[in-house]
Every structure is written in C-alpha cells, then in structure tokens.
Amino acid sequence: MINFLADNAGKLDIVNVLIAVAIMLVIALVFGFLIMVVSKKFAVPVDEREEAVFGCLAGANCGGCGKAGCSAFSRSLVEGKANIDDCAVTDAESKKKIAEILGVDYSGGGEFIYVVSCGGGVNAKDKNDYLGENTCIRENMVAFGKKLCPDGCLGDGTCSSVCASNAITVVDGVAEIDRKICIKCGVCAKTCPKLLIQKIPADAVVFVKCSTRCRGKEVMDACSKGCIGCGICAKNCAQKAITMVDNLPVIDYEKCVGCGHCVNKCPRKVIHLVKENN
Amino acid sequence: MLEMIPVIIFTAMLSQNFILVQFLGICPFLGVSKNTDSAFGMGMAVTVVMVITTLITYPIYNYILVPLGFEYMEIIVFIFVIASLVQIIEIILKKTSKSLYEAMGIYLPLITTNCAVLGVAELVLTSNLVHNLLDACVYGLFGGLGFTLAIVLMSGMREKLDSARVPKPLEGFPITMILACFMAMAFGMF
C-alpha cells in the first residue's frame, strides 16, 4: 500500500487530498489529546473573583490605571493592590458591583471631566523655531518648547497620540478634548509635559483656560488669550471661591455655585464656561 | 557517525548561529534582550522548544511524510507541531514558574511564530551534517544554545549600554541595531 501511495504522490486526485487530510487529522488528534492532558495536569487555579471583576470593568484597555491592561488591573484589585477609582472608564454602577464582589465599601469617587487649560496656540507667540521631532515631550526638552509662554500648549499633539479613544484633536495649535467620546482614562493628563489637562468635577460650570504663571506684562507680550493675574475674578466672586495662586485664579469647586459672574468680568476672557467648550 | 557530533555542535552554535548568521528569530533577539535574566529564560525556552520540535518533526518527516510521498506538507505539519508544543510549554510554565511566565509575556506565544524554531526543523532535513535522529536533536539543542548565547550576550551589552554615553540620536533602538551588526560581523568570522 505504501508503494502505491508513493507512486501516486504529488498527483492531484481525491485520494491524495483525503490522505493529506487524514495525516493532518491524526496529528491534530494526537496533539489535541496531549494539550488536553497537560492542561488538566497543570491547571492553575484562577481566583474566580478575578474573572467576575474583569467582567464588570469597561474593558477599554486604556492603561489609565497604570496597569498593563484590564486583566492586570482586575488581578491587582483582587489582590488589594489597586483602588477601584484608579479606573476612570468604568461607570459608577459597575464599580459598585466590583465593590460587592471584593467585599469592600465603595462610596463613589464622584464624576469628573478633563479640560485643556490653555487657549494659546495660534494666539500665542513663538520665541523660536523648532525643527526637531514632533512630540511635545521632546520639544519641551529644548528650552521648554517654541512658545514664548513657558506654560502654553505646544500643539504637537502627544496627548492626541496617546488617547485610546481618539477624543483629542489639535485645533488652532491647542489640544481640544471631545467630551462626548472621552472615556476619562486620564492618560493624556499624565502625558502632557506642561500638565495642561486638568481634572474638574463633572458639574463644574466654569474653568480657567490658561496655565501661565508669568506676570501681567510678560503675558501681554506673549499671548492674547493669557491670564494676566489681575485678580478681578477673585474680587468679584460672591462666594469667595476664587483665590489667586502664582498669578492664576484657582477655583474651589466646592464653593462655586456657577453664577458665571467671573466669566463676564474677566478682562482677558480667560475664564470659560465648560458647556461652551465641547 | 559519532565523530560528526562536534562538527554539528560547532556549526549549529557558532558558524551557522541562528540569530547572527542566519538572521532567524530576530524578534525575540531585539524584544527580550533588555535584561539578562529574561533573555536567558527566553533562550532556554527556545532551546527546549527546538529540541522537542526536532525530536518530533524529524521522525514525522522521515517515517510518515517521506514514505507516503507527502513531503510537500512539511511546513504545515511543522507549524502545527510547533504551535502545539509552545501551547504545552506555556501551560507547564504557567504552573511551575509564574515569574518566568510573566517575564516572557507576549514573547512566549511568539515562539510559535519564531522562525528560528521552524528554521531548525527545516534545516535538519536539508543539512548534509544530519544523518539520524541523534544528529537532529544535537543540532536542535546547540542551535538553541547558540540562540541563547547570542541573546544573552546582547542583553549583557544592552545592560552596560544603559550607563554608557550614547549620542542622543542613537539612543535606544538605533544603538542596539548597531550592536547587533557588530555581533553579526564577529560571528561571521567563524
């Protein structure tokens, strides 16, 4: 029979095809059985809570929690090495479920959003050309970037390239976050070398769209959208929610009632309404 | 034919080194060579897979495919065998050495597509040094050890490189490629 097969080998007929299939089938069965035996013998007990937690997570694999992915995060949750609120993507209801699975208290971390606190871009002057690699981190290494303002958005879009949901675009030289598709993982905030992307409460009405700590005259020379640190907003805030720190207004969102008075009073139009910035 | 064994060892490990002369298995060579420990683990895993692969594919080829006249199926059969073996080794490793399993991460499943492993299975069939199963296993074993040698040497140099002053444009990956080039030139001397 072997001789018969050897004579016919290489010719395309149905017998040869069937033999080829049979060979593969036999090998497949042998190895399939082998894998089955080995996996039974060397089975690793998996904590079932781990899988249950993984099922509740949003599964974005964004890396915002600082772990390698959602499965690594669920493992550290079960081991007690991570906090549920490290994950920003999962909604509050699923987080409560995870807390139940883990048997811990969860009061809710509060909803929040991310905003870009710079309005410079094309409105801010350059101090020099930059011809290097187009990432903010590299550009920031060379004399803090090309902008005259040392705290302004460089516009190279490194935040946009790390964003897992493509929510960030650079418009007129400034990063803009599309909050409808932002999953709030916070990776951009950790990446930005100027720390321009701020986390504010989801019910915030106003935010300061500038981060410069320069004095008034320097800002006037550098940027038409910059805060000059005049303090008019702080003086006019009825709730005393605004304090001036390093020539910048800092809004205490606990006290802010959202009257919007500061938006109207600001001579440089630096304080913006959140809803007007998409 | 035992006197051929030293020749096979020399050939498989040095003069036809899988990474540096034949350029097979470059992916783990560049990917897992950041520190010596995981490089050594990777090299050992590849060595084990290579030995077992030759141990299984050589008889399958010579005693099943050749008599039946189905030599043309070698690649698909070999890939199948390698994939299954890697799967088995992964399961065993997960149980016995969790730290090694996590250190290798994605590179362990990648042994499946490591062309050095498929390369050894093919080379023992065509090499005029290999005449029987023992020769094939020795070729696989020392091919794997040659792989380990190259990857461990590379990782040692990359560890030293961390404290070296490298010109800015060459930092990281470019200087690694240059290192690999010099190593390949050194191995080309054999």
Interior/surface letters A7-20, b for 16+ CB within 10 angstroms, e for the rest: eebeeeeeebeebb
Question: Which of B126, B134, B131, B133 is CA-nearest to residue B22?
Answer: B126
Q: What is the CA radius of gyration of chain B?
A: 17
Higher pLDDT, A195 or B96: A195
Q: Check if B92 contacts A (Cβ < 8 Å).
A: yes
pLDDT of residue A258: 86
- The token duo for B25 is 């298995």
Strands (DSSP E) found in chain A: 112-116, 168-171, 174-177, 197-201, 206-208, 242-245, 248-251, 271-273
Q: State yes or no: pLDDT of A186 exceeds 60.
A: yes
Query: If you write DSSP's letter for every residue of A245-276 in order, what string do you get?
Result: ETTEEEE-TTT-----HHHHH-TT--EEEGGG
Torsion angle of the four alpha carbons A27, A32, A33, A36, in this order, in degrees rounded to the nearest 10: 160
Poorest-confidence range of B54-63, B105-114, B172-181?
B105-114
Examine the pLDDT at A103 and tell me if it is beyond 90: no
Fold of A48-102: 3-methyladenine DNA Glycosylase II; Chain A, domain 3 (1.10.15)
Our count of domains for chain B comes to: 1
Spell A53-83 as b/e; 16+ CB within 10 A means b: bbebbbebbbbbbebeebebbbbbbbeeebe
B185 part of contact set with chain A, CB < 8 Å: no
Q: What percentage of chain B has pLDDT greater than the value 70? A: 97
Chain A contact set for B73 (CB, 8 A): 20, 23-24
Give pLDDT, residue B2. Answer: 76
What's the average model confidence in pLDDT over A121-146? 87
CA dihedral angle for residue A42, residue A45, residue A51, residue A54, rounded to 10 degrees? -80
Residue-range definition of the domain harbouring residue B27:
2-187
Asked if residue A194 lies in contact with residue A152, where contact means CB atoms within 8 angstroms, the answer is yes
Could you state, in order of their start, the residue ranges of all structural domains in chain A?
Answer: 2-41, 48-102, 112-276
pLDDT tens track for A235-254: 988 888 999 988 899 999 88
pLDDT tens track for B131-146: 888 999 999 999 999 9
Q: Does B81 touch chain A (CB under 8 A)?
A: yes
pLDDT in tens, B14-56: 888 989 998 888 888 888 788 788 788 888 888 888 998 899 9
The Cα–Cα gap between B43 and B48 comes to 9
Predicted confidence band of residue A7 (pLDDT cuts 50, 70, 90): low
CB pair distance less than 8 Å for A23 and B80 = no
Residues B116 and B124 sit within 8 Å (Cβ to Cβ): no
Which chain A residues are closer than 8 Å to B79 by Cβ?
A: none
A117 pLDDT band, cuts 50/70/90, is very high
| Greater model confidence, B103 or B83 | B83
Question: What residues in B contact A9, CB-CB < 8 Å?
Answer: 68-70
Contacts of A50 (CB under 8 A, 6+ apart): A74, A75, A78
> What is the per-residue pLDDT across A37-75, written as a single tens digit (0 to 9) for each?
988 888 877 778 888 888 888 877 777 777 777 888 888
B99 in contact with chain A, both atoms CB, cutoff 8 A: no
Q: Hey, are the CB atoms on A42 and B68 less than 8 Å from each other?
A: no
B68–A27 C-beta distance less than 8 A: no
**Cβ distance of A42 and B92 shorter than 8 Å:** yes
Average pLDDT over residues A159-173: 88
Residue A213 · residue A222 · CB < 8 Å: no
Q: In angstroms, what is the C-alpha Rg of chain A? A: 29
Cβ contacts (< 8 Å) between A10 and chain B: which residues? 69, 72
Q: Is B95 on the interface with A (CB under 8 A)?
A: yes
In this predicted structure, the answer to whether residue B81 has a pLDDT above a threshold of 80 is yes
A32 — pLDDT class (breaks 50, 70, 90): very high
- Cβ–Cβ gap B88/A20 under 8 Å: no
| A23, A41, A131, best to mutate vs chain B, most B CBs in 10 Å | A23
Q: Chain-wide mean pLDDT for chain A?
A: 85
AA identity, residue A39: S
Rounded CA gap, B89 and B105, in Å? 13
What is the dotted CATH code of the domain comprising A112-276? 3.30.70.20
